[in-house]
Structure 1
């Protein structure tokens, strides 16, 4: 596990406590991430058969990328989720939608839990969205989850995302959805 102590963002959840986000260390965090991305509940992450070196390489690639970042999310100081942000006009959605200034793409993955906590995943996505909108340059968050991932569609809608429709990506049929700052605030206040 990473010894990184730099905290980039913190959010207090009235019911569940402190959530924070720190930089991801591709080497120190690889073993932790490997357990998360290969877990059966992470099937939509599409890394089920990844080896530990595969995970290291993927997150080294992201760390070196100009338009893609990865972060570890913490709950009460313990690693609990993965967050990625990217420029959808340069990655993932190039040619599949009309980008606007201030668009930020987002992925998140909640770590598998032995004892699920009611409302935890919603608190995670609220933290992720709060972190993205903490940057005044972020005008709209863009997501493209698999059309079959109905659980994440419901979570996305709960924090203000509005589906735009399916788009065909090389690896999946995705449900393109958008959330403006105003939509997020209206859904979560």
Structure 2
């Protein structure tokens, strides 16, 4: 599967994102009860933030998933670990579907990692999924993430994990 990426347009994409992030499947996104205006505002704040970016992953030109990347020295993990030069944080969300495609989510996380490592300044991807999100832990492991430790964030207990360019290449065979 081939994906392309484009920045989220908070006004144009708000309805689509609202449907995705409030769906029960997206419980770990923690926006279950959000109103359309709240989703729009959240993505407008991200669009205005130099340390946080939201992108739509496109398949055949159509939105297929959401990814966010952030500088963990300035967002999400400030004070919870010691950031290193070249660290980038990441979140991704695949939307609900009535017709699941086998291997789709793994293809998505692989494409997200390829996109992040396409920047030569990125040396390591950092994630902090909820400790209860076993499905994403398995996906993370499949692309080379190694859990470091559990951390307590204000909104959740998270599993801090890291993936270097070399670990990603070893796990997936993808040159990054």
Question: Per the shorter chain, which TM-score range?
Answer: over 0.9
Which position in structure 2 is the counterpart of 1:47? 31
Which position in structure 2 is the counterpart of 1:5? none
Q: Does 2:123 correspond to 1:139?
A: yes
Q: What are the Cα deviations for residues 5-58 of structure 1, in whole angstroms up to 9, with x where unaligned?
A: xxxxxxxxxxxx321111110000000000000011000000000000000000
Correspondent of 2:148 among 131, 155, 164 = 164
Q: What is the CA–CA distance in structure 1 between the aligned matches of 2:2 and 2:107, rounded to whole Å?
A: 10
Cα RMSD after superposing both structures:
0.6
- Count of equivalent residues: 173
Q: TM-score with structure 1 length normalisation?
A: 0.91
Deviation at 1:112, TM superposition (A): 1.0
5 Å-filtered alignment, 1:8-87, equals 17-87=1-71
Could you list the runs of 5+ residues in structure 2 that have no partner in the other structure?
A: none
Q: What is the CA–CA distance in structure 2 between the aligned matches of 1:120 and 1:111, rounded to whole Å?
A: 11
1:34 partner SS: helix
Deviation at 1:185, TM superposition (A): 0.5
Q: What are the Cα deviations for residues 167-187 of structure 1, in whole angstroms up to 9, with x where unaligned?
A: 000000000000000000110
Correspondent of 1:153 among 106, 122, 137 = 137
Q: TM-score with structure 2 length normalisation?
A: 0.97
Deviation at 1:66, TM superposition (A): 1.4
Q: What is the CA–CA distance in structure 2 between the aligned matches of 1:22 and 1:186, rounded to whole Å?
A: 28
Which position in structure 2 is the counterpart of 1:98? 82
Could you list the runs of 5+ residues in structure 1 that have no partner in the other structure?
A: 1-16
Q: Does 2:121 correspond to 1:130?
A: no
